[in-house]
Structure 1
Amino acid sequence: MYVCSCFGITETEVRAHADAGACTPRRIASVSKAGTDCGSCVRRIQSILGRGAGCPRRELLGGPAEAPAGLVDEALVVPETVLTEAA
């Protein structure tokens, strides 16, 4: 079943990305673009992912949570210095 009709992303693909470590809607978006166009699928993605079970918390990692290697589209990554300057 399609979760994101804008980019043709299926529930199976979302679950596979989640199993590989993309445990938030933002991480799913960075690896598949799901949720980045009309946004109507974001709630469905959230429901598939659950309430963050299995997603390491930043405090436990000692810094910002990182996506596993190969799951991040480098063009979508914002340098941490930009994030800290905006805060």
Structure 2
Amino acid sequence: MEVDLILLTHGHGDHTTDVVSISKRTGATVVAVFELATLLNWRGAKTHGVGLGGTYRFGGVKVKYTLAFHSSSFEDEENRNFHYAGMPA
């Protein structure tokens, strides 16, 4: 069975490592806060950016993004830097 929708809560690698390749392979839409969705779209994923507090419908699925207390960033080990990935949800 394939996936149609991928919901992401934040940008850490344990949540995002395979998401671009899965989206490309399956055509699944990645739903994430705007900044994270944009970063993943630039890498080739099909994405839908959302805002905190918003409620969204994807077919028969209703999703509400609420604030979480967590960091959200991508590691850039080569340059020893972090890239902001939007508010966690």
TM-score where L is the length of structure 2: 0.32
